[in-house]
Amino acid sequence: MTDTAATFAAVFVALYVAHSVGDHWVQSSCQAATKGQPGWAGRLACGRHVLGLTLTKTLVLVPVAAVLGLPVTALGLAVGLGLDAASHYWADRRTTLARLARACGKGEFYSLGTPSHPAHPVTADGGYAPTLGTGAYALDQSWHMLWLGIAALIIAAI
């Protein structure tokens, strides 16, 4: 049990670090701007983003597992990273996560920091002041952390 718990902890930390790098440094500006659009342009941009993100997670996790001697299997990695990739794609299409937020009573929080929120940030002139601190971003990242935890558990257990 201790080995599995230690493996889970190490895998989660590696995935967390790789997620931050992959979601912010590896993702291109074009992918970020296009991945939520309807149609094939959005689907392909989101797919390219998720592919780059999953490769980043693999490139971080495999050496961590090797150096620490973690008992991870190819099946565990494939299932865990595959589920994480699918959940990431689902959320990053944007309309899906927005619908979930509304269904959970988080619609107002989802719009926090955007012009559609009643208390959106403003400039000294009263115009909209863009910010990276949006409710949509917070819900997006917390969704991804949930699935990183699930992926780490699967990778450690299989």
| DSSP string of 111-133, one letter each residue | TTTSTTSTT--B-TTSSB---S-
- Is pLDDT larger for residue 37 or for residue 135? 37
- The whole-angstrom separation of Cα 152 and Cα 81 is 9
Residues sharing a CB contact under 8 Å with residue 25, sequence separation 6 or more, in sequence order: none
Section 54-71 average pLDDT = 97
- The whole-angstrom separation of Cα 111 and Cα 134 is 7
* pLDDT value of residue 114: 67
- The whole-angstrom separation of Cα 62 and Cα 64 is 5
* pLDDT value of residue 124: 72
The range of the structural domain enclosing residue 55 comes to: 2-157
pLDDT digits (tens, 9 = 90+) for 98-113: 999 999 999 888 887 7
* pLDDT value of residue 19: 98
- The whole-angstrom separation of Cα 16 and Cα 22 is 10
With 80 as the cut, is the pLDDT of residue 75 above it? yes
**pTM (two decimals):** 0.88
Asked if 97 and 39 count as a contact pair (C-beta separation under 8 A), the reply is no
- The whole-angstrom separation of Cα 141 and Cα 91 is 10
Section 119-143 average pLDDT = 77
Q: How many domains does the chain have?
A: 1
